[in-house]
Amino acid sequence: MRVAVARAGLNLAEREIKLSADLDLPTIELSSSYSPRKVSDFDYLLVYRDSRLLLQGTGDTAIGELCVDFSDAKLNRRANSSIRNQNIAKALGLKGGLRPAVLDATAGLGKDAFLMASLGCEVSLLERSALVHALLRDGLGRAGYYGEEIAAILLRMKLHFGDLLEFETNSKQFDVVYLDPMFPARRKSAKVKKDMALLQQLLGHQTDGAELLDCAKLLAKKRVVVKRAKLSPPLGPCKPDIEFKGSSSRYDVYLIA
Ligand SMILES: C[S@@+](CC[C@H](N)C(=O)[O-])C[C@H]1O[C@@H](n2cnc3c(N)ncnc32)[C@H](O)[C@@H]1O
């Protein structure tokens, strides 16, 4: 996947230059016809628009655009009070006023982390893709734009960059470790949401799912929760202790003895 950071002008593009250095990506000058690189040389561009960082497709094969926006209406409808009755709350094992400390070890676009934080959990988000981490950092950094209620939820979300498989596993710091790995290679007919399809195009399939689960079990004090497509097999060789099935997804829960 060919990605560049787009600049709107020759000067005063400090944040774009920093982003390209951080992500080790080339920059492309959009307003100049003398630019050595053309938009068509890339599949996706990272662009700042209306103070938001967007990943934008350039050609016919592009699936759309990605941006982390915690004011998204659909996400906030899910995060409303009825979320306590949803499978994600049951899978986390929420009881009474107890709110587990969660490591969302496959943070992605932060939607599941947002739902868990809206349930009152303190959520540490871990993401290993530098590009996805940059989008997530941008979305979390705009707390001031979202209004008080959303900003209060974001205060419970702490972002980290790194790979779960390299995480220090000799101390159990989290009650729950949550995993939502990328899909394995799947049949064409399977329905995948647009933003997840774009992530898939960008990052490829997950091949180390069983190792993720082993690592998560070492880190969790109480349980590991794995989000799966409804008909997918469990992540590792062992069957989960509890399953919560929804219309399109399933939560597999592994209890830590
Ligand atoms: C399907 S997405 C997660 C979507 C997320 N649950 C959400 O609500 O937006 C999976 C993400 O996990 C990340 N990931 C996969 N393996 C990882 C690992 N070993 N450590 C950290 N992040 C990982 C991928 O880079 C990708 O961004």
Q: Does the structure show a pLDDT above 50 at 189?
A: no
Atom 4 in ligand 1: residue holding the nearest Cα: 108
Distance 105 CA to ligand 1 centre (A): 7
Ligand 1 neighbourhood includes 69 CB (under 6 angstroms): no
Q: What is the C-alpha to C-alpha distance for residues 66 and 82, in angstroms, rounded to an integer?
A: 27
pLDDT, mean of residues 118-123: 96
pLDDT tens readout for residues 74-96: 999 999 868 888 999 999 999 88
- Across 165-177, b (16+ Cβ under 10 Å) vs e yields eebeeeeeebbbb
Check: CB of residue 139 under 8 Å from CB of residue 67. yes
d(CA 245, CA 253): 11
Lowest mean pLDDT among 127-141, 196-210, 240-254: 196-210
Distance 98 CA to ligand 1 centre (A): 26
What is the per-residue pLDDT across 22-43, written as a single tens digit (0 to 9) for each?
A: 999 999 987 766 667 788 889 9
**pLDDT surpasses 80 at 185:** no
pLDDT of residue 11: 58
Query: What is the band of 62 on the pLDDT scale with cuts at 50, 70, 90?
Result: low
**CA gap 125, 60 in Å, rounded:** 33
The model's pTM is: 0.93
Band (3; pLDDT cuts 50, 70, 90): very high
- Say which residue, 152 or 197, is predicted with more confidence: 152
8 A C-beta contact, residue 138 and residue 52: yes
Q: Domains in the chain, ordered, with CATH?
A: 3-62 (no CATH), 73-255 (3.40.50.150)
138 lines ligand 1 (CB under 6 A): no
- At 97 the pLDDT is 85
Spatial separation of the C-alpha atoms in residues 216 and 195, rounded to whole Å: 25
Residue nearest to atom 9 of ligand 1 (CA): 109
| Full strand arrangement of the beta sheet holding 123-127 | 157-161, 123-127, 102-104, 174-179, 220-229, 249-255, 242-245
* Count of alpha carbons within 13 angstroms of residue 227, beta-carbon side: 24
Confirm or reject: Cβ of 130 under 6 Å from ligand 1.
no
How many CA atoms lie less than 13 Å away from 159 in the CB half-sphere? 22
pLDDT for the residue numbered 186: 59
Give the residue whose CA is nearest to atom 3 of ligand 1: 108
Mean pLDDT across the chain: 90
Describe the strand order of the beta sheet including 65-66 as a list of residue ranges. 27-29, 3-7, 44-49, 52-57, 65-66
pLDDT at 85: 86
Do the Cβ atoms of 222 and 256 come closer than 8 Å? yes
Q: Kindly tell me if the per-residue pLDDT of 12 is higher than 60.
A: no
- Residue 194's pLDDT band, with cuts at 50, 70 and 90, is confident
